[in-house]
Structures are given as structure tokens and as C-alpha cells.
Chains A and B, each alone.
Chain A
Amino acid sequence: MERRLGYNGAFWARVLGQSLRRRVFKSYIIVIGITVSVAALVFLQAFLSGVDDRMIYNIARFANGDVTAWWTAQGPDDLQVIKKVRSFPSVEVAAIRSSRYGVLSHGHDRITPVYLMGCEPDIETHFGVMQGGLEAGRFARGPDEIVLCKGMADRLKTHVDDVVHLWVSTETREPLRVVGIVDAEFGTDPFMAITSLTAAEGTSLQISALLNSPGAADQVASRLREMLPEGASLETWDQKPTFFAIQQLIQLQRAASVVVAALVAVILAFGISSTMVVSVAERTREFGILRTVGVGPWGIVCLLTGETMLLTATGALLGEVLGICAVWILSLAGGIDLEHLMGSLRLFARSSVINPRLTFTAVLLPLSAALVSGLLASFLPARRASRISVVEALRTI
């Protein structure tokens, strides 16, 4: 029995292919329509994922804490402040950063002025500053290590494991091993481990603290002020509403993308369905003949649905390939800069370059939408075709 079904399957598969070849123009129209729609949906989903990434990345860069203080380094005791701040019960996490100007050199003729940033890698991971972006190597952990951005590494012609020199004065030169390289989007500042910069004269220090409860910001600021030298700047701000706004924005985007996918599916379904209705009307006699030979109503439904699903699947797969290629090409080109559209928004002030990113949703949602709409759009006309009276069907020419 199984063998017989296999033979029958091959017969119907051949007939199905022939049927589509003999209606080649209609087949092309359906396939092209589905291909373009699916490709557009894949790209849109990937683009929206890229927008999400950009917002999250940007917010991670500027939302450094609920309480932030800056002062000029006084000496080794400065590092004690961070220990005290971390002991506050309302502080969830606190980071200290240092920054100063200097000159980096590699070889005799390759030198560049830099704004050096010292930070604690483990803590910064919590803030999101050091997440992602590492192209090679690792982040700096010790006093004689440095991470460079790609542009600067290119300018100095350095690679991971090379040794560069940091000039903090004309006489003082410190050798530093390049342990990592981050991509250009990370900015231009080289990172170092915190301990290498705190003692240097003219270094700026910054403490950023994330609190358990935002209401405690003023209290923490007041205690911090007591520990800091005179003239230190102190700022408090509540970042939770911003994160909440972003979350809402992302949820809104996701809902919108599902609505767009549903709309595209409905439009596709109407397009396929109307083509099917015309096709059924044209082939009524053919179905009548098949019924007299002994093909049952479900046989007609399977034949018509099979034809449409084959076209839908072909179009959907081509659309997937087209959409994925478009995303890939755009990624190679460095993304889309939407500064003129979004540059004025705070969320996109740092960078408005969107890199579309493929996700499971971006790939599977358009494919599912196309297949479901194809199935629904073909099933109803096919069911109608199967219910036409054989006698009536045979009267049509």
C-alpha cells in the first residue's frame, strides 16, 4: 500500500509541476508577489531589531548611574572612596573611572594624542559599556594593559600583543601591552585598567552608582559629597523612567511589526485567493472530469491547495534569501545612518547608525505569515471547487 501511495505521489507531483508550467505567467505573478512581500518583511523585522539594538546600546552609553560625581585626582586615597560608596546599603553597583589626556606612541614616527579612559572591566560589564564591540583580544585587566579602538590601532599600526608607549609627560613613558581592539562604534577612547591612571597628575575621576531604589539618590549624593574633595561635581538623575520608556518603545515596535506582518499576510491572502478564484472558474470542467474519473472532493482540495502551497513556499523561500541577502549587504556597508530622521532624538544622539540584525522572528515570522496566508487563501476556493456539482462542472466549457 505504501509503495502504491509512493507511485501515486510521484504521479501527482509530476502533474502538479506540469499544471504550474502550463500556467507559467500566473505562477510567476504569485511567486514574485510573495517573494517581494516576504523579503520586505524579513528586512523590516531585521531593521527593527537593529533599531532596538541601537537604542539599548545608546542608553547603555549615557545612562551610567543614578548618582554621578567628578573630581580631579588627589592621590592614592581616591580609590578608597569607591570602597566606601560600595558599602552603602542603597547602592546596587558602583564604578570608578579615570580619564586624562596623554600621547600614545608605537615606534618612532607613529604617535597620537589620546583621551585615556581607565575603568574596571568587571564592573563596566554591569553598566553595559564594555558589552559587545570587542573585535580581538580581551579587555584590559592590569596596570600595563590597554585596549584600543580600531581606528587608533590602525593609525598606530598596532595589533593585539604589540607594546605601545604612553607619555603622560615629556619625561615619563610607560610601556603598555595592547590586549584588545574594539570596533569603531565604541568611540575613540582607549581603555585601560583603572590602576594605571589614578596616580597621575591631572587625572579626572568619576564615580557612577546605580541604586537599589532611586528615591535614595539625594541621600547617597549627600554622603558622597562629604567624602569628596571640595570642588567636585555631583549629579543625580533617575534613569528608570528612561529605561521604562525604552521598554515601552521596544514593545510598541514589536507589536507594530506583528501588525505589519499580519497586514502583509492578509494582502497576500487576498491576492492569492483572487487568483485562485479565477483559476477555479477557468478549470471547473477539468475538476468535473477528475470527479467522474473517481477523484474525490478532497483530492480536488489537495490538488489545488498543493499547487498554491508549492508557489507560496517557493516565493517565501526566495523572499527569505532576498531579505537575508539585503540585510547582509547592508551590514557589510556599515548599516544605515538615519541621522536626518532620528538624530534629534536623545536616544539616537550618540549614534543613529542602524545595523539590521537577523533574529529568529525576522526569519520565521514572514515565512510563517506567507505559508499560513497561502494555506488559508487556497483552501477556501479549493473547497468551493470540490463542492461544485459534477453535472454543472461538465456543462462548462
Chain B
Amino acid sequence: MTALDFDGVTMTYGRGANAYTALRNLSLSVRPGEYLCLMGSSGSGKTTVLNLAAGLCQPTSGRVHLLGHDLTGLRDRALVRLRRKLVGFVFQTLNLVPTMTIWQNVELPLVVNHETLSRRTQRVRQLLELAGLQDRAEAYPDALSNGQRQQIAVLRAVAHQPAIVLMDEPTSSLDSARASILLDLITELNRSEGVTIILTTHDALVAERAGGMLHLRDGTLLDGACGVPTK
């Protein structure tokens, strides 16, 4: 079973003269535990791939399978349940809930998955120690640097041990030193937890750290055959 499967997916926003096609007949497969990087310039369709993979929007045509679940046509309630269990998300910026402490932000996915308090405490402590941020547990996001905030976002994305973590340009707002620390954390999580990671970027240095790479341009995959990541 693949972690993620896109089968001839086309995604068009708007209608008529205002229609804009973000993805054109895209097919790709991602294996469980893979660390895949999607590269492409702005408007190439990277974020749309992530949104479709998380079930945040529905394709105009084609099918999306997440761990064998066909997301196409699923009702919102079922999508929320799948997302809650199977998906972690990291955005480019402003990832954290500003009214929650760092601890609570990391704890949040465990809460919505109804984990017990002891399990939550153990897991959050483990993750904060992994990132070396245990002493900032009671701070609010606005007291952290950009790099630390992104680290916390990554920790939150993997807290409930999802099947797949989707990261939308997580390093784009960071300088190279902080980006490197974040990428180290992502690599470590991919290695130690075996979590499937799909990361989008337009930075070749970031892409180099991934296990595989796909290039997107104008909503289609470059690199020849669909679904075969190149390194």
C-alpha cells in the first residue's frame, strides 16, 4: 500500500474566464516512510498537491488515495477524522495557535485524538527534548524566534504519529542556519519515527536533504515518468 497516491488529478480554481488550472492530470505515488521533496517555482501547484493530499480541497477530476482511503468525494466529517489521525501539516509561517503555549500547541493533535494525559505528557516532553526546547514549554509563540516556531510546528505535526506529514515551504522564512537546524529535525523524525514526509520548496539546498525529489512546473511533473522520485 502506498502512503499517498494521485491518479490523474486535475485541479482547476474558478470558472469560465477566471478559471485557473493548478494541476493537470497529475499522477504520483509516495511510499510509506519516504521523505519526498516537491520542487517548483511559485504557482507550480506545490501547495495544491499538499492541500489535496490532506483532503483540504477536492480535485476537479482524478482520485487521491491516502493510505488506501479514497479522499475523493468524502464528506467533511470523514475528512476531519482522517486528517486528525493520519496527517500532520506544517505551513510556511504562522503555524502556531497564538493563544496556546508551546506545550499546548504540541499537545493539541494528541488532545483531538483523545490520547490520555500520561501519554500526552510523555510524548510532548519527548518531542520538546528532541528539539531542545523543553525550557520554553510554557512560553507563548510570540516569545520564540521564527526558527523555533517552525521547529514547534514540525513537532506538532508529528506529535500524534501520523502516517504522513505535509510541509509547505517550512524553511522559506528562515535564514540558512535556522533552516539547517529545522531540516536536521525533520530528517531525524523521518529516520527515528518512520513518518512519511512530503515537503515543498523552491530551494535546491533544502531539496538536497530529502530522500527523493519531484519537480513541478505549471501543474505537471517534470523528470519523465510520474511518481518516480528522482534523487
Contact = CB atoms under 8 A, between A and B. Distances in A.
Interface of A: 1, 3-5, 7-8, 11-12, 14-15, 18-19, 22, 285-286, 289-297, 299, 389-391, 394, 397
Nearest to B99: A19
Interface stretch (B26-34, B108-116, B210-218): B108-116
B97 A294 contact: no
Nearest to A393: B56
B129 interface: no
Interface of B: 51, 54, 56-57, 76-77, 80-81, 83-85, 87, 89, 91, 94-101, 104, 107-109, 111-117, 120, 140, 156
Nearest to B156: A293
Contact of B114 (A4, A286, A389, A391): A4
Contacts of B80: 291, 294-297
Contact of A3 (B100, B108, B116): B116
Nearest 3 A/B pairs, CB to CB:
A294-B84, A19-B99, A292-B89
Mostly, the A contact residues are helix
Nearest to B86: A294
Contact of B98 (A5, A286, A296): A286
A143 B156 CA distance: 90
B99 A15 contact: yes
Contact of A294 (B51, B101, B104, B113): B113
Contact of B84 (A7, A293, A297): A293
A391 B57 contact: yes
17 contacts: A4-B115, A5-B114, A8-B111, A8-B114, A11-B107, A14-B104, A15-B100, A18-B100, A22-B99, A286-B97, A293-B109, A293-B156, A294-B81, A294-B109, A295-B80, A390-B56, A391-B51
Given A285-B94, A390-B56, A294 B83 contact: yes
B56 A391 contact: yes
B116 A7 contact: yes
Contacts of B113: 294
Contacts of B51: 391
Contacts of B94: 285, 397
A293 B99 contact: no
Contacts of A5: 114
Nearest to B117: A7
A286 B57 CA distance: 18
Residue in A19, A292, A391 with the greatest tally of chain B CB atoms within 10 Å: A292
